[in-house]
Structure formats: structure tokens, C-alpha cells
Amino acid sequence: MGKFIPVSEPWLTGKELEYVQDAIKSTFISSEGKYIEEFERKFASYIGRKFGVACSSGTNALILALRALEIEKGSEVILPSFTIISCALAVIYNDLIPVFVDSDMKTWNMNPDEIERKITSKTKAILMVHTYGFPCDVDRIVEIAQKYNLYIVEDFAEAIGSEYKGVKCGNFGIISCTSFYANKLITTGEGGMCLTDDERLAEKMKRLRNLAFIPEKRFFHYELGFNFRMTNIQAAIGLAQIENIEQRIKKKIFIGESYSKLLKPLEDEGVISLPPQDPQHKNTFWMYGVLLKNRITADEIMKKLYERGIQTRPFFYPLHLQPAFERFSWFKRENLSISEYLGKYGFYLPSGLTLDEEKIRFVAESLIDILKK
């Protein structure tokens, strides 16, 4: 194997080191320090929300959001089957019941019609997840939530910078959550954030992430909290990254559009489907997905690409098929055919911000060559 192209690499532009060194020199290297509040403020402001609550991961952001809403135990939360397991874990760890819905083949996002079909008297929230950079059908999901008086918790970890009808993702939940894992548009290594316009919820989440300490009396607790704090060092990295976020978005879109241009002939021939696009919305192509249509499984093609030095990742394995959930009384076998198809025949190409035109072309031409043999 000659050159190796990883599926993603963080793009560190220089100020990360400067800010981290400053944080270290300040001796505030744990969960206090100027960078945490500054990062919370700037990220929330960029998205268009009033309050940001930084925490230790995107998974923990979701757990924190659902806990802050104080949903009655045993209630149901509707979420897509085609997403990462973190979403279901956040529901389960709050003693709630995940109800999985199928996806829309055109958008790869949760199908609003399926959401409405799954609503019962126990349903209390919808966990709306934007997949691979393309926004959900927000209007329809909001309409359903309002009709049935349900909370929307938004997961926009894969859609930082994406827009639905000109409005940034991250604006559509009573609490909106994201991740700053190393493969995200903005990274802090590990980390996440909850955004909200509700000051009471923001203060509650800040308290809960910090072991539910109260300012009046240290080590005295009225409720059970978590250690979900972000460190000042992590926030320093995030602050440096948000300072050039528009450049990051521009580069992501360039990568996605370059792949689409090179791979369009395969789509025209009916061999693959390319990521969804809609002129009303902005897709930031968090990961550039390819869906095979010739019944060759993703695993077969991924193996051949790896032999050429190209790392890829499969699409999500559907949550309704996860063995880890079989022990729960709420588990039931369902036929969510779109999610299953996406999980079997979809994968994503290298999509990191360090890609250049030469690497993009090499990946695309390699895929074309493999699929035409």
C-alpha cells in the first residue's frame, strides 16, 4: 500500500496551540478558566442561540438535555433507527423508552410520516437528528411536535453550519446538542455542547454537568448530577477553531461538491446514489456518503478501496437491530427497510478538512474504477 488517505483528520490551523499554551500557563487546565465561557458564548452566538452549555461529549450533551427536561420515567422518545447509538443511549440512560422510526430514502433522515405513526399517549419528545450534513424536514417535524405537544431535542452534531431554509441547524430544538469529536467540523478532541434560548434550562444544565453543586453550599446536593464538564484546554482548542468556521464550512462544501461532480456519471448510470441536495437548504457534507444501487454490499467496495490506501466507514447499523437492546422489555423486531438498506449498502468516503483536490480525485477515480470492473 502506497499513500494512505484517512477517512477524516482534524484541521488544526495554528491558534489551537497558542490558546492551549495560554490555558496551561494560566494553570486553569480543568473545568474552570476563561476559554470555557468564551467558547460557549461564541459558539452559541454563531448558531444563533442565547445560551451554550459545554460538556464532555456529544453523547453526554444529549443525556444532559433529556435530563434537564424532566420527562417522566417510562415515557417514549421517537428517534431515527438510522443514527449512532449515542442517541438511543441518551434516552435509555434517562429511564425513557426509545421508539425507532424509519428513514426517507431521498434524504437519509427520519421520515416525518413514520414519526406520526409511532406517536402514542406515552410519547413526550422527538429526537431530531440531521444525518451526514443534510437537514431534516424541520417544518414537518415541528408541525407534528406542536400538534401532539412534544419536545424537540435536536442533534446537529453532523450538521454544524448546515442550514434549513436559511436558518442554521441548531436552532430547532428546545435544546439543541452537538459534538466536538475529532471528526466534526469543529473539534475539541472530545466534547459537546447544549444550546437553548431558555435561561432556566441553561442554568439547570450547567448545574447538572457539575455534579449538581449549588453555589450557596459546597458539597451539598438537592439532586443527582453528572461529571460532564469540558476542560479549559478543550475549550481553548474549540475557540481557535470557531474563529475560522466559515473557512471550514466553505472547504467542506468544496469537498462535497467536488466528489459530486466527479461521481455524477455513476449516479446517472444508476450505480450509486449521491448525498441529498436541495437548493432551499445548505448541506455541509459532514461525511460524503455513497449509496450502492447494484446490490454489491458496502463491505465489498470498502475492502477494495482500503487495498488502494483509502479508508472509509460504513453507514450506521440500524438501532432497531442492535443486539445490545434485545434484553430490554421494550425491544421488538421491526421491519424498517430503508434504515436496513442504508446500513447495508451505504458508506462514506474520506471527508476530512485536510483533503486536497489531488486526493479527492484519486478517491473518486478509484471508486469509479472499482465499480466499473
The tens digit of pLDDT for each residue in 348-363 reads 999 999 999 999 999 9
| Measured distance CA(342)–CA(292) in Å, rounded | 9
Cell numbers 446538542 label which residue? 177
Write out the H or E segment, with its range, that includes residue 44: helix 34-47
The tens digit of pLDDT for each residue in 2-38 reads 689 999 999 998 899 999 999 999 999 999 999 999 9
Backbone angles phi, psi at 308, to 5 degrees: -100, 10
| Sequence letter at residue 348 | Y
Q: How confident is the model at residue 1 (pLDDT cuts 50, 70, 90)?
A: low
Residue-level pLDDT at 324:
97
Residue 294, pLDDT > 80, answer: no
Domains of the chain from N-terminus onward: 15-242 (3.40.640.10), 245-372 (3.90.1150.10)
Q: Do the Cβ atoms of 206 and 68 come closer than 8 Å?
A: no
Burial of 309 (0-12, 13-18, 19+ CB in 10 A): middle
Cell numbers for 247? 473557512
The tens digit of pLDDT for each residue in 105-116 reads 999 999 999 999
Burial of 300 (0-12, 13-18, 19+ CB in 10 A): exposed
Q: What DSSP assignment string belongs to 287-342?
A: SEEEEE-SS--HHHHHHHHHHTTB--EEPPPPGGG-GGGTTSTT------HHHHHH
Contacts for 363 with CB less than 8 Å, ≥ 6 apart: 5, 259, 305, 310, 349, 350
Burial of 224 (0-12, 13-18, 19+ CB in 10 A): exposed
| Measured distance CA(64)–CA(68) in Å, rounded | 6
The tens digit of pLDDT for each residue in 65-80 reads 999 999 999 999 999 9
The tens digit of pLDDT for each residue in 251-262 reads 999 999 999 999
As a whole number, mean pLDDT of residues 320-341 equals 96
Residue-level pLDDT at 185:
97
Query: What percent of the chain shows pLDDT beyond 90?
Result: 96
As a whole number, mean pLDDT of residues 318-329 equals 97
Residue 160, pLDDT > 80, answer: yes
- Vertex 319: Cα angle to 143 and 167 (nearest 5): 35
As a whole number, mean pLDDT of residues 204-227 equals 95
Residue-level pLDDT at 373:
78
Q: Do the Cβ atoms of 152 and 145 come closer than 8 Å?
A: yes
More confident residue, 64 or 1: 64
Q: Average pLDDT of the chain?
A: 97
Residue 329, pLDDT > 70, answer: yes
| Measured distance CA(325)–CA(79) in Å, rounded | 15
**103 - beta bridge partners?**
110
Q: Do the Cβ atoms of 99 and 78 come closer than 8 Å?
A: yes
